[in-house]
Chain A
Amino acid sequence: MMYRSIYFLVAVCLILVVMILGLQVGSFESGLNTVLESIFQYDPDNTTHYAIIQLRLPRLLLALAVGASLAFCGYLMQAMVNNGLADPYLLGTASGASLGAVVVFFGFIEISIGGFYMPPILALVGAFIVTLVVIALGYRKRQLIPAQLLLAGIALSSLVTAIVGLLTFLSDSEGKLKSVIFWSMGSLERASWSLVPYPAVVIILALILFFFYQKQLNVLLLGEERAQALGVRVARTRWVILGTVSVVTGFAVATSGPIGFVGLIIPHVTRGLMGATGRFNLLFCAFIGGFFMLICDLLARVIYPPAGLPIGIITSFFGVPFFVYLLFKKNYNFRG
């Protein structure tokens, strides 16, 4: 139990350290003193202060919220389908969101309606619609069949990806293509104080909700029959998981694009460090997901300034080696 508390403490400290480092990286030269000055003696007319508080800080908070959301949803999905290969995008969220954004980028819907920038809104709508269809296809005889849900997700994602591909192929402008490519690899560049609250509030609410469901989740790992024998209402738990994953992933993807790999590897890291059935696993998973995303964003900006590499490329580049290490680590087991 003691080592788990230490891990928590280390995770929080690491998040703070990376955030302070992240606040120092950008086009304006700014050391630690400038960062502290801009936090405690903010002067909006000082452009460096303005950049740190209005651009860098919301970006870091968005990275934290999105990383936490994806890792959290990955953990839930893996527990629900009882398979370590599951990730939050299995429900077709990523492809649905991509289709929503592409529909706007390619001019089928005005890019700005009533002052609202439409790509994230349509991405959210697209994510929800595709997820609903996948759930409907995975539902039989009044209950969700995980294997059917997985197959429906894969099939529908392929179909939606093909539609996105077709629209991309028929694109008449290089700019539109760039938008789609940039969006599909994930980006935190649109972060602003008005955008951050959406994914942040959603993940905080979801974490509170699942504080009461952690026990059921752990029992689900034993399999449906055993879970039922132990008094877990499997069907209801699955519905709660599905609903939460759809909303949390939808907001994460809508604000920053479909960033891959976080939702797959961070749950494994969590179980590797905290054990498969820890009481605070979900919270720890969210912390580690946020930390991982912060590190990746920092690397993306340092490696390829000023625009930074698409975040999805970095998450895969640095996530895969660690994932392979975990696979070969002898004392790690998906079900504890």
Chain B
Amino acid sequence: LAIRIYTLKGEQQGLRFWVTGVILIFMPLIFTACGNQKADINKEVHIVKDDLGREIKLSSRPKRVFALAASMTEMLYAILDTSTIIARTPQDNFPAAVYSKPVVSNYPVDYEEILRLKPDLIFTIEGITPLDVASRLEELGVPVYYQKYNKVNDVFTGLEDIGRIMGQEEKANSVADSLKKQVELLRQKYANASQSPKVLAITWSDPIYVYGRNTILTDKLQILGAENAVQESFDQPYPALTREYILKLNPDVLLGGSKEKLEEKFFSLYPELRKIKAYQQNRMFEPTDDLMSRPSPRVVESLVELEGFLYKK
């Protein structure tokens, strides 16, 4: 622009003088108008608190949303109309309808694409989206709502919260109630289980990372009358363990792969661990990765799958 203005000549320079003058005179008025507009919006702002205690300001009921975590996308699809969900991340694969949505990179976050899509609100979960990314998005005018889940019931509370924010309370409550009932039935079924098998779920074999105490798996196992073999609480949800520690835990059940798969990729690397009960008694199973790792409405499906492993005849 500066270059263009410098090329103006003669009357054009006079024109530039008048335009600049008019802008300078009206500038305070423009700012005042903007200020008033902001004040008007402020009058209608709804403040909601997310699971991290952050305050999110919404000027109106969100109409265009998406999630930065695959599990959260599943939560949104359980409640909202598909037209409300405007994008997906590269990891999203459920439900199948999600494939029709444009892809937004969540690592690293594609801010420009997000601005182009103009979402009213982004949902995500703790641990997937760093807080500084959320702050940056909010600076760009896109609010971010976090959820976190320690127990299975937190998923249902999360569904109800999404329903409240999106004006879909009835549907959200109905979905949550139905799932809660199924979980309660399972809880009652195993409330008086005589034995509680110790389950170790590995997420990676080199180094050995496992589902720690403070993951939703611990609650899932308790519902099914079993327990997480990792009794110690570590800072990380998925702590790294040594072979010696696992030998000491001596789990009854090992989740992370079929016997053949674990034999090839785990026990061949750590032959000393063939001493654990799970190996000796051949109780090694391969749960569906997405069901295990995603706290989503499919949590009941995950419970049923785990039940099958734990109480296989």
Contact = CB atoms under 8 A, between A and B. Distances in A.
Contacts of A143: none
Interface in A115-131: 115, 117, 119
B38 interface: no
B197 interface: no
A50 B207 contact: no
Interface string B246-283: 01101000000000000011001101100100000000
Contacts of B241: 306-307
B240 A50 contact: no
Nearest to B242: A306
Nearest to A177: B204
Given A27-B245, A175-B203, A192 B272 contact: yes
Nearest to A44: B275
Contacts of A182: 206-207, 240
B244 A56 contact: yes
Contacts of B204: 175, 178-179
Interface in A89-131: 105, 111-112, 115, 117, 119
A222 interface: no
A117 B275 CA distance: 20
B244 A51 contact: yes
Interface in A180-200: 182, 187, 189-190, 192
Interface string B28-46: 0000000000000000000
A307 B242 CA distance: 5
Contacts of A308: 242
**B contacts with A: majority SS:** mixed
Contacts of A55: 242-244, 247, 272
* Contact-residue bracket for chain B: 20 to 34
Given A50-B275, A175-B203, A307 B239 contact: yes
Nearest to B246: A27
B268 A27 contact: no
A216 interface: no
Contacts of A56: 244
A117 B209 contact: no
A26 B244 contact: yes
Contacts of B248: 27-28, 47, 51
A306 B271 contact: no
B209 to A, nearest CB: 6
Given A55-B272, A111-B265, A192-B271, A27 B242 contact: yes
Nearest to A50: B275
Contacts of A307: 207, 239-242, 245
Contacts of B250: 47
Nearest to A191: B243
A112 B247 contact: no
A206 B243 CA distance: 32
A124 B206 CA distance: 18
Interface in B79-106: none
A28 B209 CA distance: 20
B242 A175 contact: no
18 contacts: A26-B242, A27-B247, A27-B248, A28-B248, A50-B275, A51-B248, A54-B272, A55-B243, A56-B244, A105-B206, A178-B240, A179-B206, A179-B207, A182-B206, A182-B207, A182-B240, A187-B207, A189-B243
Given A117-B268, A306-B244, A307-B240, 6 more contacts: A27-B244, A28-B248, A50-B247, A51-B244, A55-B247, A105-B206
Interface of A: 26-28, 47, 50-51, 54-56, 105, 111-112, 115, 117, 119, 175, 178-179, 182, 187, 189-190, 192, 306-308
Q: Which 3 pairs of residues, A with B, have the shortest CB-CB distance?
A: A175-B204, A307-B240, A306-B245
